Amino acid sequence: MTLAMAGAGPAPSREPHPGYRPCVGIALFDAAGRVFLGRRVRARDLGPEGEDFAWQMPQGGIDAGEDPFRAALRELWEETGVRSVRLIAEAPDWYAYDLPPAIAGQSWKGRYRGQTQKWYALRFTGADGEVDIAAPGDGSHKAEFDAWRWENLARVPELIVPFKRPVYERVVEAFSPLAGA
């Protein structure tokens, strides 16, 4: 998919994109350099050949006045229960994608065209048993994933819902050299 295709959103920017919901994304790397993927509970985005596009990396909204890195740590904990991490890198730009028209009017009461995301690469320093997608955030948050796995970063875009792929391709480009760091 090229950035000119539907869903691609505006070009990367040093600042959040106006008209887009401010969010963070987390590329959580294990010791082997693989990245965490969760399968979204409410989605079964099957492609024409039966591909399962319900996978994604942890992500979520930035609260008003919240620092993006703090939002990333909060969202990671709320979605996975993980707290044992260290920062590897921050993506240099904000990446954005447009929601498909059928979704845009329903999501966030139609206030946003899509999401603008600041991405962070984090190294997981705990054990796999720390991951708790069934009762994340010590059970204080609703499960967003019904399955999870470690995956090769280069393979991630093909597993993502197509309208988010351009952002994930940029994340792969930004963080590929860090997979083993």
Q: What is the pLDDT of residue 174?
A: 96
pLDDT digits (tens, 9 = 90+) for 11-36: 888 888 888 999 999 999 999 999 99
Query: Average of pLDDT values for 87-108?
Result: 85
Residue 4 falls inside a structural domain: no
Q: How confident is the model at residue 43 (pLDDT cuts 50, 70, 90)?
A: low
In a domain, 12, yes or no: no
Q: Name the amino acid, one letter, at 143.
A: A
Whether residue 154 contacts residue 176, with contact meaning beta carbons closer than 8 Å, is answered with: yes
Residue 81's CATH number: 3.90.79.10
Structural domain boundaries, residue 61: 21-178
Per-residue pLDDT at 1? 29
The encoded tokens of residue 87 equal 């920062």
Pairing of strands 59-61, 85-98: unpaired
170 inside domain:
yes
Token pair, residue 59, equals 């992500």
Residue of 173, 144, 178, 176 lying closest to 57 (CA atoms)? 144
Contact 58, 80 (CB under 8 A): yes
Q: Count of domains in the chain?
A: 1
SS3 133: coil
Residues 49-85: pLDDT tens digits?
A: 545 678 999 999 999 999 999 999 999 999 999 999 9
